[in-house]
Amino acid sequence: MATTFPVEWGHRPEYMPLVLVRSQDFYQQMMIDPEDALPVGTTARIDVVRSNRSRELVATWDGICSEELIEFAVESELIDELPRTGLDYYLYVVFPDTPDLDFCVTYGVVEHL
């Protein structure tokens, strides 16, 4: 009996740069299709890390979740405190029925303008 294996294991999050502008607040909404509504109690966060091997956590920004929306609002003062180069980010969603599992939705380089 032959067994077929998937070409790839795991989950591949979407790559997308995070563009930040000096002295400007960061505001972003991610709309969720009503058919894929998020469960009540879902949380989201953006982890900003150094791009080097240490992956040192530089900042964490908590999002606001509803059934059909994930929203982030970060004041410009916090944006301006970040190093101008050498950062990556990961956007994680955590579902209430699996609170110990972080699901990475998007990731990428942090670009400063």
CATH architecture of 14-112: Sandwich (2.60)
Mean local confidence (pLDDT), 81-106 = 94
By percentage, how much of the chain surpasses pLDDT 70? 95
Q: What is the structure's pLDDT at 3?
A: 65
Numbers of helices and strands, H then E, in the chain: 1, 9
> Degrees (nearest 5) of the Cα angle 107, 9, 1?
170
1 pLDDT higher than 60: no
Q: Give dist(CA 85, CA 80) in Å, integer.
A: 12
Question: What DSSP designation does 39 have?
Answer: P
Mean pLDDT of the chain: 92
pTM score of the predicted model: 0.88
**Domain edges within the chain:** 14-112
Q: CA nearest 43: which of 99, 89, 106?
A: 99
Q: What pLDDT, in 10s, does the model give residues 26-73?
A: 999 999 998 989 999 999 999 999 998 889 999 999 999 999 999 999
By percentage, how much of the chain surpasses pLDDT 90? 81
- The burial of 85, by beta-carbon neighbours within 10 Å (0-12 exposed, 13-18 middle, 19 or more buried), is given as exposed
